[in-house]
Amino acid sequence: MPAAAGLAAAPAPRRRARRSIGDALTAGGFLLPNLVLSGVFLVLPLILTVVISFQKLDSLGPAQWLGVNNFLDLFRDPTFYETLWNTVVFTVCTVPLGMAVGLGIALLLNTVMPLRTLWRAVIFVPLVLSSVSVGLLGAWMFDQYNGFVNKFLAVLGIDGPDWQSNGTWAMVSVILMTLWQRIGLDMIIYLAGLQGVDPAVLEAAEVDGASSWRRFRSIVFPLLGPSTFFLLIMNLLFSFQVFDTVYAMTAGGPNFSTTTLVVYAYQQGFSDHGPGQLGYAAAIGVVIFAVSLLLTAGQWRLSTTRDEVG
């Protein structure tokens, strides 16, 4: 009965093909809005930024093609290297410290602790504030003559540092305010990760005689790998692109000591009373993008735990 069997089996592939087309249309329908939004608001601006970085362009136009001259000028500009260094210092200080403190707090709040919901909310609240508000708040708190921090230190008999006129202390104050705002995110992501750790595994290790530190080092921390990977990428990007907190708090001063790459790009391209060189600012933006891409790609290659848990 091969012919009859063939007749009976014939509709099945057609149904599969129809279902397959239907699935593709459904998937396309779901994907389209995201693709359109990503294309319009991410890919297109990115391409335009790269194009503008090869032009001489101010806010009134028209554009003039420069080739790579903006990049040549940038690599000869000593202020660019100073701002790049400031950005690296800011990133190196905020990312590991913020994640370590966030992890510590998450471990604390993951235990049976009185009022832990309240503490969780208190630590998380700064994250929902706008970064400009945090910067303004920081400017008031670290005002070296009338600010809360130095007044408080004076009560303790300590002569407070020059938070605003000394470059190093100004950077410290910006880092502290950033940490205050960002630790909430680190804490909440780690807390979610900790709640995914199987208590049975920890109990088994305890029965085997593993100390608390050993349990954390050999079981908990490795299982938090996906959380660490996510936070590392996000924090690196946040830190490398910091602008609003710094600009509202120190305006990049004193001198250029807190001027980060994005603040420098803003001053060169977008400040109403600046030189308005959008092409040069775009070149700085391309450098920021390239560095961010390299950092992310490097971390992606080095991380062995990124895919284990979503």
Partner 1 sequence: MTLTRRQFLGAAAGTAALAGLSACSDVHSGGGGAASSTDLPSVSQSAAGSGSAGSTASAGAKASPTAKLSGTVSFAFWGGSTGETAGFTYAKKKFEAANPGTTIEFQVSPYDGFFSGIDRGIQTGKAPDTFRVDYTTIAKYSSRGLLLDMSPYFTTAETQAFLPALWDAVKSNGVPYGVPHQTDTTCIVYDTKAFETAGITSVPDRLEDAWTWEEFADVAAKLRKTLPAAKFPFAYDWTKAGAFRWLSWLYQAGGTLLTPDLKKAAIPSDAATKALDFTKSFFTNKWVPSTGTIKTSQYSDNFFLSQTVPMSFVGDFLVPEIADPKAGYKGDWAATFMPRDKAAAADLGGNAIVARKDSSNPDLAAAWLKFLVQEDAMRYFCEQAIELPTLQSLASAELKYAFRPDVVSVCAKQATTISDTIVKESTVPAFSSINTVLGDQLELAFHDQSTEQTLAALAAAVDKALTS
List contacts with partner 1 (CB under 8 A): 54, 56-57, 59-61, 64-70, 72-74, 76-80, 136, 139, 143-146, 162, 164-165, 167, 248-256, 267-277, 279-281, 283
Q: Which is nearer to partner 1, 131 or 228 (CB)?
A: 131
> What is the C-alpha separation between 304 and 310, in angstroms, rounded?
14
Query: Whole-number minimum distance, CB 183 to partner 1, in Å?
Result: 24
Q: Which is nearer to partner 1, 41 or 140 (CB)?
A: 140
Angle CA 41–300–239, to nearest 5: 60
First to last CA, the chain: 51
- Quick one: tokens of 86? 């400031």
| Among candidate residues 256, 292, 97, 261, the one with its CA nearest the CA of residue 175 | 97
Query: Whole-number minimum distance, CB 260 to partner 1, in Å?
Result: 13
Q: Which is nearer to partner 1, 145 or 300 (CB)?
A: 145
Q: Which is nearer to partner 1, 82 or 306 (CB)?
A: 82
Q: Which is nearer to partner 1, 160 or 222 (CB)?
A: 160
Query: Whole-number minimum distance, CB 250 to partner 1, in Å?
Result: 7
Q: How many CA atoms are closer than 13 Å to the CA of 40, on its beta-carbon side?
A: 6
Query: Whole-number minimum distance, CB 90 to partner 1, in Å?
Result: 16
Q: CA quadruple 226, 229, 231, 237: dihedral positive or negative?
A: negative
SS3 56: strand
Q: Looking at the DSSP assignment, which residues form a beta bridge with residue 65?
A: 55
Query: Whole-number minimum distance, CB 43 to partner 1, in Å?
Result: 20
